[in-house]
Structures are given as C-alpha cells and as structure tokens.
A and B are shown apart, each in its own frame.
Chain A
Amino acid sequence: MIPRQIKTLTLFGLITAILLTAVSIYAIEDLPAFGDENSAVNKHIKLFSVDAAGLVDSLNAGILPAEIKNKTEEMGFIKGPTCPGCQNENYPTLEDGNYKIEYIPQGTWMGGRFYTDGGWDVSILEGEIFYNEFQQYYFIKESEGKLIVYRYNWPVRVSERTEEETAMINSVTSGLADYRGYDTMGEETVILTGAIGVILLVRRRGRL
C-alpha cells in the first residue's frame, strides 16, 4: 500500500480545524457561570445611598422608609408623567400593601441568583397595574452605616442602560451581538455547517 501524500492544502485545513476546536473549547471554558452576579444579565444597578440610622428596623418590620420612597420618586420612578408633555412611565408606585420586604442572608442561592451580600429584597406583589406578577424590584444593602439601594437588572438594563453601555440606539442589536454574542456566534456556525452539508449532498460536479 502506498501511503497517501499529505497535500499542503489539506495540512492547512487540518491546522485550521484544530485552531477552531481550540477556540471553541476556550469559549466554553470562558463563559460566565449561570447565576454569576457580575455577568451582564444579573448585575444590580446602583441607584443611591442614604444614611442607615433608624431605617434598618423599619425595613426589618416590612415597611419601606419614607426617605427611600421619596428619593426613588425624585429620581423619576413614579407612575405618571415626570415632566409636562411626557408619556406615562410604567414604574410601580410604592404604596403600602403593594410591596413586600424580605431579608435575604448572605450566601443564599435563590431564583437562579447567588447572593454574595445579604440584603433586603423589595418585591412588587401581584395585582399591580403594570406588574401583574410577583417581581423582585429593588435590593437594599447595608454597608458602613449607609443603605445602598439597587434595582434589579432586567428591566433596567434593556430600557435604560443599553445606550450608555454599548453606544447603540438599537437595544435589539446590543442584545443580539453584544450581551448574547456567544449565541449569535453559534448561529452563524450553524449556517456555515448547513451550507457545507448542502454542498456535500446536492453538488453534482466534479470540480469546484
């Protein structure tokens, strides 16, 4: 049997395939873990901080202090037009009975999210006009005598932070190619593989 000579082009193809395999393995290893709190989807947005004096007891009792409530409304998180001629904003009002406050200790794994810091979850209850389902909305953390108020990410990231973070007016493009870039890379690979499969099945010519 005569051993087949390895052509230069075949060698290049082999090297390319090995490099692509290495890239794929690297990409899989490099993905942020599910529930990673620093990944783009799970990161909290910091709103403001207030002095903690006397407010912790109120939070533990399940009542949102008036300071935090007023400050969120000053920032524009209220239902109704924030300026004359504006459209109504869909933020929930924080009236008593519309929300629930729950203390979550450090190290809890809940709802696909790992809490590296303990804090108070402010959730919107069912029956709110714009938020019909139970939803975590604010997260309050105590640190060095201050209460830091965060907002949960998903509604914030898409509607408010897209342009600031990615300089794109179009939030769909940023979602497709930036926040979910790995997904789109896989889609493109699927298209290339499908095209190669069609060539192998359908092409009936001797040479390319």
Chain B
Amino acid sequence: MTPEIKEYKRDIIIEVTANLMFPLILLFGLYIMIGTGGTGGGFQGGTILAAAFIFYITVFGHEKGREKMPESVNALFKSLGLFLYNGAGWICVLFSLAGAQWLNMPAFWPVTDYVGVAGARSFLVGYMVSVGIGLTVMAAFVSQYFDLAWKEDEEMEGGE
C-alpha cells in the first residue's frame, strides 16, 4: 500500500512573510537573551530563537531548513552553550590563579578594572551565562523538531 503523494505547493505569501519575519524573530530572541535589565533570560530567549527556526522549517520544509541549521552546527551549539556556562566559572578560577571559587564572579579581574566588581558579575551573567543557556535550549528544541519531522521515504533513501 502506497500512501498518496501530495504535491508540494508553494505559497508566495507565506514564503515572503516567513523570509521577512525570520531575522526579526531572531533579533527579538537575542534582545530577550542578552543583558540583565530585561524581563527575559536565557531560557526564554533560547525558546524564541528555536521558534524562529521551527517557523522557517515549517514553511520551507526540512531540507531547506537543514541549510539554515546544519546538524553539525546544531550539535556544536548544543554543547557550546554548556561550555560557555562552565567557562564563566572557569574564567573566575583561572584569572584569580585558583584563589577564587568556581563561579565566584567578582574575581574576573580584567573586567573588574573597568566596570567594578558588580559590573563583572553583571557582564558574566548577561553575556556568558545567559547566552550559554539560550544556545543550549535553542539547539535542543531544533534538533527534536528535526527528528520528529523526518519522513519515512527519506529515511529509506538516506538510511544505512
């Protein structure tokens, strides 16, 4: 029994709208993710970034979506996020020559010279920790969506 193959119909309105919206949603996700003054954070911003990619894949199909987000880049982001967070902890240990504790943020001396102790904490939290969380969350969501959107016939072609 062969399932009916529906012809893929392009819709110019949806495609143009998606092309317009995709970078804007990414920008909004970054705005939510970076910095400490806003209402968001890493988890929320990462989810919005993932929503942008899922939107793109839904409109253009997963083959074109793969070009936007290749599997290698996805795997890189997934682990890079955790490494950024752990790196924020390691920076504090390394720059204080193992005098400070793990994630003891005021010990980040190149930054404390310029912006002070409180500014160093804010810098690490806003630009390393939040971005790290966001990258991991985004890559996890997108990879799950790719896995679920994979079709049977393509599995036969590409498998093994």
Residues of chain B contacted by A164 (CB below 8 angstroms):
118
Q: Chain B, interface size: which category? A: 35 or more
SS of B interface (majority) = helix
The answer, yes or no, to whether B26 is at the interface (CB within 8 Å) is no
CB distance from A130 to the nearest CB of B (A): 27
Q: How many A-B contacts if CB must be within 8 Å?
A: 118
* Structural contact, B133 and A198, CB atoms closer than 8 A: no
Q: How many Å lie between the Cα of A172 and that of B158 in the bound state? A: 47
Q: Which residue of A lies closest to B71 (CB)?
A: A208
Interface members, chain A 162-197 (any B CB < 8 Å): 164-170, 172-174, 176-178, 181-182, 184-185, 188-189, 191-192, 194-195
Contacts A27-B89, A192-B82 known; A178 to B159 CB distance under 8 Å?
A: no
Q: Interface size for chain A: under 10, 10 to 19, 20 to 34, or 35 or more residues?
A: 35 or more
Is B103 interfacial (CB 8 A cutoff)? Answer: yes
Mask for B101-122, Cβ within 8 A of A = 1, else 0?
1110100000000011011011
Q: Is the CB of A27 within 8 A of B118?
A: no
B contact residues around A7 at 8 Å (CB): none
A: residues with CB less than 8 A from B are: 20, 23, 26-27, 30, 164-170, 172-174, 176-178, 181-182, 184-185, 188-189, 191-192, 194-195, 198-199, 202-208
